[in-house]
Amino acid sequence: MNPRAAVLLVLGTALLLAPVAAPPFWVTLLNYIGLYSIVSLGLVLLTGVAGQTSFGQAAFVGLGAYTTAYLSLNHPAISPWVNLPIGVALTSVVALFLGFITLRMKGHYLPLATIAWGISLYYIFGNLEFLGGHTGLAGIPALSFFGIEMRSERHFYYLIWTIVLASLWATRNLLDSRPGRAVRALKGALEMAEAFGVDAGRLKIVIFVYAALLACISGWLYAHLQRFVNPTPFGPIQGIEYLFMAVVGGAGSVWGAVVGATVITLLKQVLQDWLPRLLGRDGNFEVVVFGILMILLLQRTRDGVWPWLARAVPQRKPLPVSKATTLPKRSRGNEGVLLVVERARKQFGGLVAVSDLSFELYRGEILGLIGPNGAGKSTMFNLISGALPLTSGTIAFEGRSTGNRQPFQIARLGICRTFQHVKLIPAMSVLDNVALGAYLRGSSGVTRAALRLDRREEAMTLAEAAIQIERVGLNEHLHAAVGSLSLGKQRIVEIARALAADPCLLLLDEPAAGLRYLEKQELAALLRSLREEGMTILLVEHDMDFVMGLTDRLVVMDFGEMLAQGLPGEIQKNPVVLEAYLGGV
Amino acid sequence: MTQTSKSKTRSVAAIGEPPSKPAARTFLFMTFSIAALLAQDGVTNGAIYALLALALVLVFTVTRVIFIPSGEFVTYGTLTLAALQLGKPPGTVGLLAGLALIAGTMECYTAARQRDWRRFPRRLALYLVLPLAIAVVVYAVAPLSLAFPIQILLTLVIVTALGPLLYRVAYQPLAEASVLVLLIVSVAAHFSLLGLGLWFFGAEGSRTPPFTDATFHVGDITVSGQSVLVLLSSLILIGALYLFFERTLYGKALRATAINRVGARLVGISPSLAGSLTFVLAALLGAFSGVLIGPITTIYYDSGFLISLKGFVGAIIGGLSSYPLAAAGSVLVGLLESFSSFWASAFKEVIVFTLIIPVLLWRSLTTHHHEEEE
């Protein structure tokens, strides 16, 4: 048996036998750890992975708990099991609304906004007469399961931990899928994700609702376990504490949620038991010591406890990727004009970065966009990819205007890009980074991914990614974390990612920067072979040898204006261009 | 949520208690004089929230720390003053000495590890000797029946001295960590200081005597001297801060750090100095707010969180970056709070915290942000 399986077997057995072997007090504690784990799991996804900090999860726990409490007490005919979907539906509606208004906020606005509505919901619970005000609702019936009333903590234990494991399974599946890769890009690489067709605004709301629903389920369990609810456990402090658990456990991994919930719950318990005995007096010292220990812990290990524990558990080897079946390719026309830029203009305040530029791009050609530093090349690039809106003028791709489309909508048309400053997800493998490029060629959503119904499509996506990685010559780095590669190789990964999108038009922003001579030659050969296949390429580049040997035509920009356009040979002799580059001859 | 969380239960329960303010709930109809009373109340509280908002903006822009424990500085301010009134050495003296010893040890350790003893004497003087001296002096003079202004001065000195020590001990080792980790450290520090507050001052609330009993009559309206004093001193403090940031080298250094941390570092502004200095100011603003709010509201050891949250709301309205807007936002919060306590007292907090969401939304849609730096 391999060591990993052994560790899992021991943990699994312990989990299964705990309620039989452990004293009731510990079973209670484990139940609470389970309830907290479910909520912090949502935060791992929302905050740890996607970077959207929320302090308001406790309020969603409250929604789940109060819904079932109110319905059980006022409509006893309805089974508590039916209250769960009702609570889920209610929470979805509330979360959709709150997500819609708060997730548009960026940076530090978001956590503060979540505190604000967290507090609002808390006071609403406490001030509504029909919810029992600050005293709460008592006498909630126990759950029954096929006629057995789950009155004991032991019964409940199995229910809670089944749900914990199920949500861990679903969340892990989700992270390891098409939407999962996009979620991982939301933190720090939003612009890149949108360039590959991810509707980031929508995706944020979806995972926000996902996290809220986990919280709601935890609340439903809590209400029937305690059989009493009042507003206190759904207040701002508890909301903060859930975030605490996720961060302390290790917000980058689903296991961090369980580890965090365990560490914090046990620590509090131990402190509460031992401190009065140690100090010989009662008081609130456990909070003091708890806070100090948390600060020390974070000073020792910023990424939480899990990465540190994970070293002790042997990791699974990555599975080999089968390249048998891959995604269908799009058909490209091979004649005529692909992209028309007409009097494109971009102003930043008084600065005209691109001034009424017009040019055309023909199918199957490599067009070089060159010019001295500050000429407006990258701005032009961002106008085509939609990263920046046009001030005036039009850009039409296959006859359709791209003017008022978002970057992710432009990506859907078949335009794909690399970035001047590499935008990859450093902790993710080369394979996953490249697979993100194929986002628009798949269709699995969060639900399918969480339930693992996406495996056929996922296998094809990974096969496509592996083929592109092989094509650019990075096969040996397939499973390496992208952050561990040299900058030159990272640029090549960006190209592979763009190829995985199977674009009609490839926009390359200084792809040769940071490459060595041989690597540049390989890159040029690759781009030529892409042209053979009918791909159209727009290239911004400073390396003149590279550009002259590769491109079919050149557009030269200076101070936002068109200086010249023509064949590479003509441009090299053009006196105006020479003057712009060399300052007069 | 469990029985494992006594302290938390208590602190949240206290948040729910309505502050005892002269909000005229028995009147059913708004008259001009009630409106004037409410407005006066709102502006007075708003001025205090404004001080806290300024502290939060300052700390966030310079250090990226969301300063949740600022509320504890407020309660420490009020309760330290209350303890001095009773002629008792306040518990904050012990905390000051304790933090100074820890910070001193940390300085020794850092200097020994880096084998760099050049700045060591100065740092030891700032982090160990000075706070210890303050602690000893306050401990010694506390039982003497001091004049009220001297008590206030001592309160400000003790609580302000806690700020840089907190920064040195809790935040400085993590100065480069992500905003999220710094936030969690803030929460942890908030918990610790809250627990210490209960230990130092007990669960009973305190109110300090008013600075003045004078009242003025402007037509039908009665204006209390207390309100005028709060407003005036807030304005003076804000003015002093303005001068500090505009006219002094340290103030400019802090502004530079707030705008561009790396750039400031490159021109020789030490990030740890900027951090400590910021926390001096933030602690001073907190302590000052505590002294001002003491005569208006009964302050319990755990009242700080909600007060500072309202400061937050004000700061958010100002976008966490503009001082005048943050101050204006805080006054708005104060007014909102006092008027909603008249019409729908039970839903006062709901109204205050819900109404900021549209403001937040508006701000985040209209201001341009860069992608987060993580």
The Cα A191–Cα A382 span in angstroms is 11
What is the mean pLDDT of the segment spanning A246-271?
91
Q: Are the C-beta atoms of B288 and B77 separated by less than 8 Å?
A: yes
Q: Is the pLDDT of residue A22 over 80?
A: yes
Answer whether A291 sits within 8 Å of B11, measured CB to CB: no
Q: Which residue of B has its CA nearest to A106?
A: B364
Helix (H) or strand (E) holding A148: strand A148-149
Name which of B180, B189, B372 is nearest A291 (Cβ-Cβ): B189
For the stretch B263-305, pLDDT in tens is 888 888 888 888 999 999 999 999 999 999 888 888 999 888 8
Name which of B7, B170, B349 is nearest A119 (Cβ-Cβ): B349
Is A151 a domain residue? yes
Answer whether B192 sits within 8 Å of A290, measured CB to CB: yes
Mutant choice from B3, B4, B302 vs A, greatest count of A C-beta within 10 A: B4
Query: Are residues A376 and A232 part of one domain?
Result: no
Q: What token pair was written down for A452?
A: 């693992």
What is the mean pLDDT of the segment spanning A88-100?
92
Answer whether A32 sits within 8 Å of B350, measured CB to CB: no
Give the count of domains, chain A: 2
Is A480 a domain residue? no
Whose tokens are 């356009």? That residue is A565
The Cα B38–Cα B341 span in angstroms is 9
Q: What is the pLDDT at residue A41?
A: 96
Q: Are the C-beta atoms of B197 and A291 separated by less than 8 Å?
A: no
The set of residues, in sequence order, having a beta carbon less than 8 Å from that of B171 and lying 6+ positions away, is: B63, B65, B182, B185, B275
For the stretch B323-361, pLDDT in tens is 777 788 888 888 888 888 877 777 777 887 777 777 777
Q: What is the pLDDT at residue A515?
A: 85
For the stretch A517-551, pLDDT in tens is 888 998 999 999 989 888 899 999 888 889 988 99
Strand A351-362 to strand A148-149: parallel, antiparallel, or no bridges (unpaired)?
unpaired
Q: Which residue of A has its CA nearest to B172?
A: A299
Surface of B (189-208) touching A: CB under 8 A: 189-196, 198-199
The Cα B16–Cα A122 span in angstroms is 10
Q: What is the pLDDT at residue B24?
A: 44
Q: What is the pLDDT at residue A184?
A: 93
What is the mean pLDDT of the segment spanning A219-248?
91
Answer whether A123 sits within 8 Å of B5, measured CB to CB: no
Last residue of a domain, one of A310, A329, A350: A310
Q: What is the pLDDT at residue B99?
A: 94
Query: Are residues A346 and A206 part of one domain?
Result: no
Q: Are the C-beta atoms of A411 and A361 separated by less than 8 Å?
A: no
Q: What is the pLDDT at residue A162?
A: 94
The set of residues, in sequence order, having a beta carbon less than 8 Å from that of A573 and lying 6+ positions away, is: none
Q: Are the C-beta atoms of A487 and A434 separated by less than 8 Å?
A: no
Touching check for B179 and chain A: CB below 8 Å? yes
Query: Are residues A112 and A60 part of one domain?
Result: yes
Total-model pTM: 0.84
Name which of A108, A122, A187 is nearest B374 (Cβ-Cβ): A187
For the stretch B43-92, pLDDT in tens is 888 888 888 888 888 888 888 888 889 999 999 999 999 999 998 889 89
Q: Burial, A332: exposed, middle or buried (Cβ in 10 Å; 0-12, 13-18, 19+)?
A: middle
Q: What is the pLDDT at residue B10?
A: 36
Whose tokens are 């922003």? That residue is A509
Host domain of residue A402 = 337-414+503-582
Query: Are residues A406 and A278 part of one domain?
Result: no
Q: Are the C-beta atoms of A434 and A497 separated by less than 8 Å?
A: yes
Cβ-based contacts of A188 with chain B (< 8 Å): 371-372, 374
The packing angle between helices A57-74 and A24-43, to 10°, is 120
Q: What is the pLDDT at residue A161?
A: 94
Q: Burial, B274: exposed, middle or buried (Cβ in 10 Å; 0-12, 13-18, 19+)?
A: buried
Q: Is the pLDDT of residue B371 over 60?
A: no
Q: Is the pLDDT of residue B222 over 90?
A: no
Cβ-based contacts of B8 with chain A (< 8 Å): 232, 237-238, 241, 287
Pick the range with the lowest mean pLDDT from A208-222, B209-223, B295-309.
B209-223
Is A238 a domain residue? yes
Q: Is the pLDDT of residue A436 over 80?
A: yes
Q: Quick count: other Cβ atoms within 10 Å of Cβ A454?
A: 24
Q: Is the pLDDT of residue B7 over 80?
A: no
What per-residue string of b and e applies to B311-350 under the rule 16 or more CB within 10 Å gives b? bbbbbbbbbbeebebbbbbbbbbbbbbbbbbbeeebbbbb
Rg (CA), chain B: 21
Query: Are residues A283 and A403 part of one domain?
Result: no
Task: Quickly state the pLDDT bin for A287 (edges 50, 70, 90).
Answer: confident
Whose tokens are 């406490």? That residue is A126
The ipTM, to two decimals, is 0.81
Name which of A32, A107, A269 is nearest B1 (Cβ-Cβ): A32
For the stretch B84-96, pLDDT in tens is 999 888 989 999 9
The set of residues, in sequence order, having a beta carbon less than 8 Å from that of A139 and lying 6+ positions away, is: A73, A227, A228
For the stretch A171-180, pLDDT in tens is 999 999 999 9
Q: Burial, B288: exposed, middle or buried (Cβ in 10 Å; 0-12, 13-18, 19+)?
A: buried
Q: Is the pLDDT of residue B1 over 50?
A: no
Query: Are residues A145 and A49 part of one domain?
Result: yes
Q: Is the pLDDT of residue B11 over 80?
A: no
Helix (H) or strand (E) holding A208: helix A200-226
Q: DSSP letters along B33-62, please?
A: HHHHHHHHHHHHHHHHHHHHHHHHHHHHHH
What is the mean pLDDT of the segment spanning A321-333?
77
Touching check for A130 and chain B: CB below 8 Å? no
DSSP state of A260: H
Q: Bridge-partner residues for B206, per DSSP?
A: B299
Cβ-based contacts of B7 with chain A (< 8 Å): 284, 286-287
Host domain of residue B321 = 12-366
H helix runs in chain B, sequence order: 6-16, 32-63, 70-85, 92-114, 120-124, 130-141, 148-166, 179-201, 225-247, 249-259, 261-266, 271-293, 304-317, 323-343, 348-366
Task: Quickly state the pLDDT bin for B142 (edges 50, 70, 90).
Answer: confident
Query: Are residues A388 and A293 part of one domain?
Result: no
The size of the A-B interface in CB pairs under 8 A is 187
Answer whether B364 sits within 8 Å of A104, measured CB to CB: yes
Is A138 a domain residue? yes
Pick the range with the lowest mean pLDDT from A149-158, A159-168, B2-11.
B2-11
Q: What token pair was written down for B344?
A: 């729908």
Last residue of a domain, one of A310, A327, A347: A310
- The candidate with the shortest Cα–Cα distance to B195, out of A241, A238, A237, A291, is A291
Supply the CATH number for residue A204's domain. 1.10.3470
Is B372 a domain residue? no
- The candidate with the shortest Cα–Cα distance to B208, out of B133, B295, B79, is B295
Is B142 a domain residue? yes
Q: Bridge-partner residues for A553, per DSSP?
A: A367
The set of residues, in sequence order, having a beta carbon less than 8 Å from that of A328 and lying 6+ positions away, is: A441
Query: Are residues A195 and A261 part of one domain?
Result: yes
List C-alpha distances in Å: B295 to A94, A238, B200, B208, B340.
Answer: 41, 31, 20, 5, 22
List C-alpha distances in Å: B203 to A279, A401, A495, A583, B302.
Answer: 19, 67, 64, 77, 9
Q: Is the pLDDT of residue B181 over 90?
A: no
Query: Are residues A286 and A211 part of one domain?
Result: yes
Q: What is the pLDDT at residue B373?
A: 38
Q: DSSP letters along B60-74, please?
A: HHHH----TTHHHHH
- State percent of chain B over pLDDT 90: 25
Q: Is the pLDDT of residue A365 over 60?
A: yes
The 3-state DSSP composition of chain A as helix, strand, coil percent (nearest 5) reads 60, 10, 30
Report the mean per-residue pLDDT for chain B: 82
The set of residues, in sequence order, having a beta carbon less than 8 Å from that of A286 and lying 6+ positions away, is: A268, A271, A272, A275, B7, B195
Query: Are residues A242 and A121 part of one domain?
Result: yes
Supply the CATH number for residue A365's domain. 3.40.50.300
- The candidate with the shortest Cα–Cα distance to B107, out of B162, B154, B165, is B165
Q: DSSP letters along A16-85, please?
A: HHHHHHS-HHHHHHHHHHHHHHHHHHHHIIIIIIT----S-HHHHHHHHHHHHHHHHHH-TTS-HHHHHH
For the stretch A30-62, pLDDT in tens is 999 999 999 999 999 999 999 888 989 999 999
Q: Is the pLDDT of residue A71 over 80?
A: yes
Q: What is the pLDDT at residue A281?
A: 65
Q: What is the pLDDT at residue A106?
A: 65
Q: Are the C-beta atoms of B304 and B55 separated by less than 8 Å?
A: no
- The candidate with the shortest Cα–Cα distance to A482, out of A523, A434, A419, A418, is A434
Q: What is the pLDDT at residue B4?
A: 36
What is the mean pLDDT of the segment spanning A472-490?
90
Task: Quickly state the pLDDT bin for B18 (edges 50, 70, 90).
Answer: very low
Give the count of domains, chain B: 1
Query: Are residues A347 and A284 part of one domain?
Result: no
Q: What is the pLDDT at residue A282?
A: 62
Q: What is the pLDDT at residue B366?
A: 67
Query: Are residues A220 and A143 part of one domain?
Result: yes
Q: Is the pLDDT of residue B6 over 50?
A: no
Pick the range with the lowest mean pLDDT from A270-279, B69-78, B311-320.
B311-320
Q: Is the pLDDT of residue A130 over 70?
A: yes
What is the mean pLDDT of the segment spanning A464-472?
92
Name which of A51, A247, A298 is nearest B174 (Cβ-Cβ): A298
Touching check for A128 and chain B: CB below 8 Å? no
Q: Bridge-partner residues for A137, per DSSP?
A: A229
Residue B367: CA atoms inside 13 Å, Cβ hemisphere, count?
Answer: 21
Q: Is the pLDDT of residue A129 over 80?
A: yes
Q: What is the pLDDT at residue B367?
A: 57
Q: DSSP letters along A343-364, please?
A: EEEEEETTEEEEEEEEEEEETT
Name which of A29, A127, A190 is nearest B371 (Cβ-Cβ): A190
Q: How far is CA A120 from the centre of its chain?
A: 28
Surface of B (54-83) touching A: CB under 8 A: 60, 66
- The candidate with the shortest Cα–Cα distance to B199, out of A59, A287, A564, is A287
The Cα B301–Cα B195 span in angstroms is 9
Q: Is the pLDDT of residue A69 over 90?
A: yes
Is A365 a domain residue? yes
Q: What is the pLDDT at residue B320?
A: 60
User: Angle A110-A255-A16 (CA atoms, 0-180°, nearest 5)?
Assistant: 135
Q: Bridge-partner residues for B217, per DSSP?
A: B222
Surface of A (62-121) touching B: CB under 8 A: 101-102, 104-109, 111-113, 115-117, 119-120
Is B212 a domain residue? yes
